[in-house]
Amino acid sequence: MEAVQQFVSQLRDQVSTVVVGQDDMLNQCLLGLLCKGHVLLEGVPGIAKTLTVKTLARMLRLQFQRVQCTSDLMPADILGTNVLNMSNGSFQLHKGPIFTDLLLVDEVNRMPPRTQAALLESMEEQQVTIDGARYPLSEFFNVFATQNPVEFEGTYPLPEAQLDRFLLKIRVRYPTAEEELRLLTKFKHGPDSRNLAEGQLHALEPELLNRAREEVRTGVRVEESLFSYILAVGRQTREWPSLSLGASPRAVISILTTAKAAAAMDGRDYIIPDDVKTVALPVLRHRILLKPEAELEGLTPDHILSDVLRAVEIPK
């Protein structure tokens, strides 16, 4: 796990010079990068969601584009469109921001359904179709989307098909009191302090990310008992009395993929049940549906998934 350890340690060290705290969010973002999976960040404004993604892109020397979603955003605003070249009478593709390595879709739930649907093909097949022609996207293409959980006016809830394209849904919390104190101290000289910290970053080679991904894909062993354990967790959600929709087969595969990455980040070439427990909530919380009576009781997806994990027997 040499490349994975180098990738993780260097990113953690350098991102921490710009972003104070938010270690859980950073670790889960790294999981998404290692698994080449798209990430949905949910949290209130001002807690470093956008800053973290921008810093990761800069650290990895990846091309970065940002889309600020509004209710009138059209598919062509993201994908691009064919424009008539008056000099030769032919149409040329004017590429949209989706033709990048790391795409930040800010406040994705403000995007109207038609534009949300435009992202489905790119997130699943790493290509886009414009006027009947298909265009491949970058080998590093990754979507990081953010949404605000407390503001509902002018928003469009993401449909299940869209949510299922995200490998992870990360709940971004407020920093602790200690972290917030460090933040105040760090920026006592004003916003320029952050600009100074960003200027001191030392970028990594993108090839390191490719090597780390290959180590996760081929270098982490999975015992037969762990396959059965992951399958039992997924199937238990489909039978849970408080849920109207359980984990899909794609979600079960996602648990396996992210558990392998979690093991590699921990320096192991094999997964253990704790890896599955670590990734189960961010992988499944956006892929299950609670029954109305469960919501009235104040239950949340995280509460129910924690109960599911306790109910499934851990392999010896």
Q: 133-136 and 127-130: which strand pairing?
A: antiparallel
At a CB cut-off of 8 Å and minimum separation 6, what does 115 contact?
A: 69, 73, 74, 75, 77, 78
Shared domain check, 102 and 230: no
Q: Which position has the higher pLDDT, 64 or 17?
A: 64
Lowest mean pLDDT among 40-44, 49-53, 89-93, 187-191: 187-191
Q: Looking at residue 277, what is its pLDDT?
A: 95
Q: Over pLDDT 70: what percentage of the chain?
A: 95
Lowest mean pLDDT among 75-79, 113-117, 184-188, 194-198: 194-198
The domain in which residue 275 lies consists of: 220-311
Q: What is the mean pLDDT of residues 100-119?
A: 89
Q: Which position has the higher pLDDT, 193 or 67?
A: 67
Q: Looking at residue 151, what is its pLDDT?
A: 66
Q: Looking at residue 27, what is its pLDDT?
A: 93
- Determine phi and psi for 31, rounding to 5 degrees: -60, -45
41 assigned to some structural domain = yes
- Contact criterion met (CB below 8 Å) for 137 and 97: no
57 assigned to some structural domain = yes
Shared domain check, 242 and 99: no
CB atoms inside a 10 Å sphere around CB 5: 15
131 assigned to some structural domain = yes
Q: Looking at residue 195, what is its pLDDT?
A: 55
86 assigned to some structural domain = yes
234 assigned to some structural domain = yes
First to last CA, the chain: 25
Rounded to an integer, what is the distance from CA 292 to the centroid of its chain? 27
pLDDT in tens, 2-61: 899 999 998 888 888 888 888 899 999 999 999 999 999 999 888 889 889 988 988 888
289 assigned to some structural domain = yes
200 assigned to some structural domain = no
- Contact criterion met (CB below 8 Å) for 37 and 257: yes
Shared domain check, 229 and 273: yes
Shared domain check, 131 and 59: yes
User: 89 pLDDT exceeds 90?
Assistant: no
User: 169 pLDDT exceeds 70?
Assistant: yes
Tell me the C-alpha to C-alpha distance, in Å, between residue 120 and each of 86, 115, 208. Answer: 33, 9, 28
Cα–Cα distance measured from residue 187 to residue 194, given in angstroms and rounded to the nearest whole number: 7
Shared domain check, 252 and 164: no
Structure-block tokens of residue 117: 């649907």
Cα–Cα distance measured from residue 256 to residue 130, given in angstroms and rounded to the nearest whole number: 34
Q: Over pLDDT 90: what percentage of the chain?
A: 53
Cα–Cα distance measured from residue 240 to residue 207, given in angstroms and rounded to the nearest whole number: 43
pLDDT grade for 148, boundaries at 50, 70 and 90 = confident
pLDDT grade for 256, boundaries at 50, 70 and 90 = very high
User: 129 pLDDT exceeds 70?
Assistant: yes
Q: Looking at residue 211, what is its pLDDT?
A: 92
Q: What CATH number is given to the structural domain containing 17?
A: 3.40.50.300
Cα–Cα distance measured from residue 46 to residue 76, given in angstroms and rounded to the nearest whole number: 29
User: 128 pLDDT exceeds 60?
Assistant: yes
Q: What CATH number is given to the structural domain containing 230?
A: 1.10.8.80
128 assigned to some structural domain = yes
User: 190 pLDDT exceeds 80?
Assistant: no
- Determine phi and psi for 150, rounding to 5 degrees: -110, -5
Shared domain check, 162 and 42: yes
CB atoms inside a 10 Å sphere around CB 155: 16
Shared domain check, 127 and 26: yes
Q: Looking at residue 198, what is its pLDDT?
A: 58
Tell me the C-alpha to C-alpha distance, in Å, between residue 208 and each of 34, 117, 246, 267, 299. Answer: 11, 32, 36, 16, 42
Shared domain check, 167 and 246: no
Q: Looking at residue 65, what is its pLDDT?
A: 92
Shared domain check, 83 and 177: yes
Structure-block tokens of residue 36: 């080449």
Structure-block tokens of residue 145: 């989307």
- Determine phi and psi for 58, rounding to 5 degrees: -65, -40
User: 197 pLDDT exceeds 80?
Assistant: no
Q: How many domains does the chain have?
A: 2
Shared domain check, 149 and 27: yes
Q: Looking at residue 272, what is its pLDDT?
A: 94
pLDDT grade for 192, boundaries at 50, 70 and 90 = low
Cα–Cα distance measured from residue 253 to residue 256, given in angstroms and rounded to the nearest whole number: 5
CB neighbour class for 90 (10 Å; exposed up to 12, middle 13-18, buried from 19) = exposed
Lowest mean pLDDT among 83-97, 118-132, 286-300: 83-97
CB neighbour class for 31 (10 Å; exposed up to 12, middle 13-18, buried from 19) = buried
User: 264 pLDDT exceeds 90?
Assistant: yes
Structure-block tokens of residue 196: 């100074």
Q: Looking at residue 114, what is its pLDDT?
A: 86
Q: Looking at residue 183, what is its pLDDT?
A: 83
Q: Looking at residue 61, what is its pLDDT?
A: 86
**Mean pLDDT rounded to a whole number for the chain:** 89
Q: Looking at residue 121, what is its pLDDT?
A: 87
